[in-house]
Amino acid sequence: MHNSTAETPHMAGTSNGTLCTPPPISKFSLGVLVLLAFLMVLLALVTILGNALVIVAFIMDRNLRHRSNYYFLNLAISDFAVGVFCMPLYIPYALMGKWHLGRGVCKLWLVMDYLLCTASVFSIVLISYDRFLSVTKAVSYRAQQGIMSNPVIKMVAIWVFAFLLYCPAILFWEYMAGHSKIAEDQCCVEFSQNWYFLLCASTLEFFVPLLSVTYFNVHIFHNIQRRQRHGSTQDCEPPRSGSLSWRFCLLPRPGASSPSSEAEDSVSSLTRPWRPAVMANCPSPTQTSPTGLQREFSVSVHSRTGSKLQQDKKIAKSLAIIVCVFAICWAPYTLLMIIRGACKGSCVHESLYEVTFWLLWINSSLNPFLYPLCHMRFRMAFMKILCPKKFAALRSRSTPAY
């Protein structure tokens, strides 16, 4: 929805009857324009490099190719395209106050801007929903770790829905209206003053996603609090009556590290054949009594539960940050867009609207830091790419000598 941004700078009506006015940045002094140009280019570079790092890490490190991490890749691709395509084309327009690339490129830019920003928002919702499932439905979630069809379908659905939300209106609004109200040297959407359309579209693009992410976050916190009070074990099933079944309990193997702090690092033994010989602290029935085995099982369950609880707390904290940053970046623009549409662009100052527009793109530059950097595996992959010597030294120190 950043893209509405495109519409944003030119929303107010003008004396010639068009919907767009030049971006207010073009009215500043030369020194201010130079400073603003530097900041815009810097933001575009940060967006490009940050999201490119996520994509490269995903390609180079096979350890990142878990089902849930594909949602991070999907988000990084949409935000990377914002930095590569949307920002560079808008910067000259913002600085000069005129669009010199023609109506065809203008349409393409508007379509890409709205599509990419909307897909970014929906990806955030999908990531939050995935984290929600990993915490509240841990056993069934891990049982499906190797199934890639569902994530692919969800990611494709995101892009299809994002396209349908704005792009047909961008492409065909003027044909349905019978004429265009946009000046040749301006670039904005035809529906920038249609209050009803803006309200409906922004509800689907911002208000519903915000409520969804908040809902997931609240339920995760409630789930964690309930487990702390009752000592619930989400990912271990108790032994069946008359026998000791270790199949569904995630016990560490000899020499293995403790469970990861991320949900995606916890791969259920449901997806692997059961091999008792490699299970840690699993004595044979001839060596230990059933009572002793049950005691060992209880200890391992409590250990696993505590680790799962800690990783879920980290997930809850990261989602809380997601909700706050998403709301801060998107709420001002969405509210002002609806207000401006209702009052035909005459009740909100253009400079304020321009600031809220850039906040949307700032969200795309922050996403690489809000999501992947919250996960140890992504951090290690980034270190491997950016600081290979440091990564090799760290790995050699952590590798046990045999």
Q: How many domains does the chain fold into? A: 1
Whether residue 250 lies inside any domain: the answer is no
20 band by pLDDT with thresholds 50, 70 and 90:
confident
The pLDDT value recorded for residue 234 is: 46
For the domain that residue 199 is a member of, what is the CATH number? Answer: 1.20.1070.10
C-alpha–C-alpha distance, residues 113 and 5, integer Å: 8
Whether residue 298 lies inside any domain: the answer is no
324 band by pLDDT with thresholds 50, 70 and 90:
confident
167 band by pLDDT with thresholds 50, 70 and 90:
very high
Q: What percent of the chain has pLDDT over 90?
A: 25
The pLDDT value recorded for residue 211 is: 92
Query: Which of 60, 100, 108 shows the shortest CA–CA distance to 81?
Result: 108
105 band by pLDDT with thresholds 50, 70 and 90:
very high
Whether residue 286 lies inside any domain: the answer is no
The pLDDT value recorded for residue 4 is: 43
Which has the higher per-residue pLDDT, 314 or 248? Answer: 314
Whether residue 400 lies inside any domain: the answer is no
Whether residue 387 lies inside any domain: the answer is yes
The residue segments making up the domain with residue 358 are 4-230+305-393
**Region of poorest pLDDT, from 195-204, 217-226, 227-236, 326-335:** 227-236
Whether residue 374 lies inside any domain: the answer is yes
The residues, any chain, with a CB within 8 Å of residue 170's CB and separated by 6 or more, are 107, 110, 111, 114, 189, 190
The 10s digit of each residue's pLDDT in 327-360 is 899 989 888 888 887 777 677 777 788 888 899 8
Element (H, E) at 236: none
CB 34 within 8 A of CB 200: no
Whether residue 402 lies inside any domain: the answer is no
Q: Across all residues in the chain, what is the average pLDDT?
A: 75
The pLDDT value recorded for residue 295 is: 55
Whether residue 282 lies inside any domain: the answer is no
Q: What percent of the chain has pLDDT over 70?
A: 69
CB 322 within 8 A of CB 132: no
Which has the higher per-residue pLDDT, 140 or 33? Answer: 33
